[in-house]
Amino acid sequence: MKNRLRLAPSPTGLLHIGTARTALFNWLYAKKINGKFLLRIEDTDVSRSKPEYSKNIIEGLSWLGLNWDEDPIYQSERIGIHKVIIKKLLDDGVAYRCFMSEEESQQLREDQKKNGLPPKHDNRYRDLSKSEIESFINEGKSSVIRFRIEDNAQITWNDQIRGKIKWLGKDLGGDMVLSRRAYGDDIGSPLYNLAVVIDDNFMNITHVIRGEDHISNTAKQILIYKALRYEIPKFSHTPLILNSEGKKLSKRDSVTSIDEFRDMGYLPDALTNYMTLLGWSPKSGESEIQSLEKISKIFDLKDVNKAGAKFNWEKLNWINSQYIKNMNSNDLLNIFKILWEKKGWEIPSQQWGLNLTLLIQDSIIVLSDVINQSEPFFNLPEVDNKGLDFLKNNNVKSLLKYAIDLLSKKSQPINRNDAKEIIEEISLKYEIKKGILMKSLRIAFFGCLSGPDLIESWLLMSEKDEDMERIKRCLDII
């Protein structure tokens, strides 16, 4: 059978980094084994699922470049089929109606707590007679459908990441609920463990790769696979993504949705490359920075770690900066232009924009850094206190005056040689260290002692006819 993998997100929130990483591992492994990667939106929980979340998940996966084959399946469209199968399980006697009320459940939980026992359903409605069931239905009582799980059932599978996994029926919390509460002889809407098995079978899924929080669900699902005589797929459970405290990364950890990463200025290729390292790493000697196509060739589930993967911002930043460094500068300029336009900043020419891009490209970590780093080229910066002290303490008034004299004799805008000549000439005349002069000019252009290459920056400012004006401004304040 052809290999088929899938991502089955629930649209109950924005696309989360954990779901995106699961998508990525499925995508990589599908590529590796020459299979298909499919998408199924698990939107059966009407109270929590929202179309805007489905849209966000679909857009986020596309932005990351994790494209899927075939049309996405919406699970809500298959509820009728799920119900028919639940009915079959009822008829076969593998499932039954459980009439336990909310009050009864609460009482059971309280009793178990009092006796120091873990919460577990006690299967009390398991063996009702036909007439008992009928009379409960006639009384208008509500029920859920439960699937029998024998305490002594043994469930094992060979997890492609974790090796052999064993579960005992008694550790699965009692008979499993297949559908939500309904009245009379209705069958309520199907729940995850039932729907996932039916749909994975319907979609001919051969490999299920999902988070380790689903391990006990897998044990339950295998029981359903067996009851329905479906072929069981291969399972793999990926490690969780952890925050810096070693706890599961959650919404409380500030940035977790793919949108937020995009808005902060991470590139999709850098983010997916970083995500490959959340639980997997290339063999020693191989670069961590590689395209997904290349990684799909060396990626293997057996090399995925079992232990949780700590989210590391520094690593992500480093990878992103490497991608930005290696980007074609014209492409990067196109991104910068959008960000500059949003600020209302105009570039005098395409070449000027490209030169500024080349000047700052290597020091950009996330795209949004471009704002801070390029602002002095668009707006006149205030001179900070350190800069002001430097200008005052080093007696630079006459140097700057001379710089203006020399500048006004050059044709504008100046070129690299002009700038170098001016610096040489001033240092000779005043017998000062070039450093003092360069720092003074830097303060004039940037308002502070830091910034990108001075000469290149000067040329950009000269092209906007702002260099002289900025030096004059310094003379006015010292």
Q: What residue ranges bind ligand GLU (CB under 6 A)? A: 8-10, 42, 196, 210, 214
Query: 394-408: string of b/e by CB count within 10 Å (b at 16+)?
Result: bebeebbebbeebbe
Q: Which of 400, 324, 309, 317 is nearest to 357 (CA)?
A: 324
Cα torsion 60, 65, 71, 77 to 10°: value is: -20
Q: Residue 11 Cβ, how far from ligand GLU at the closest point, in Å?
A: 9
Stated length of the chain: 478
Residue with Cβ nearer ligand GLU (233 or 451): 233
- What is the smallest separation between the CB atom of 69 and ligand GLU, expressed in angstroms? 17
Cβ proximity to ligand GLU: between 100 and 155 the closer is 155
Closer residue to ligand GLU (CB): 12 or 349: 12
* CA–CA distance, 8 with 287 (Å, rounded to integer): 31
Name 12's Cβ contacts closer than 8 Å, sequence gap at least 6. Answer: 45, 48, 49, 50, 53
H or E element, residue 142: strand 142-147
Nearer Cβ to ligand GLU, position 212 or 467? 212
In the complex with ligand GLU, the residue whose CB is nearer, 73 or 347, is 73
Which class for 426: exposed (0-12), middle (13-18), buried (19 or more C-beta within 10 A)?
Answer: buried
CB of 22 to ligand GLU, least distance (A): 7
**Which residue lies nearer to ligand GLU by CB, 49 or 457?**
49
Q: Which two tokens stand for residue 104?
A: 């009864």
| Shortest distance in whole angstroms from residue 30 CB to ligand GLU | 14
Token representation of residue 275: 């995500």
Shortest spacing between CB 165 and ligand GLU, in angstroms: 16
Contact 152, 168 (CB under 8 A): yes
Min separation Cβ 202 and ligand GLU, Å: 14
58 vs 388 by CB, closer to ligand GLU: 58
- For ligand GLU, give the closer residue by CB, 18 or 447: 18
- Residues near 332 by Cβ (< 8 Å), separated by ≥ 6? 324, 357, 361
Nearer residue to ligand GLU within complex by CB, 5 or 370: 5
Q: Least separation, in Å, of the C-beta of 10 and ligand GLU?
A: 4
Please, are residues 123 and 175 in contact by the beta-carbon 8 Å criterion? yes
- Residue whose entry in the numeric block shows the structure tokens 């059978």: 1
Structure tokens belonging to residue 168? 């005992």
In angstroms, what is the minimal distance from the CB of 214 to ligand GLU?
A: 6
Which phi and psi angles does 390 have, rounded to 5°? Answer: -60, -45
* Euclidean distance between CA atoms 319 and 426, whole angstroms: 43
CB atoms within 10 A of CB 284: 5
Residue closer to ligand GLU, measured from CB, 214 or 439: 214
Least distance in Å: CB of 190 to ligand GLU? 13
Look-up of token digits 């004799």:
409
With 0-12 CB in 10 A as exposed, 13-18 as middle and 19+ as buried, what is 466? middle
CB of 83 to ligand GLU, least distance (A): 19
Q: Is the peptide bond before 118 cis (omega within 30 degrees of 0)?
A: no
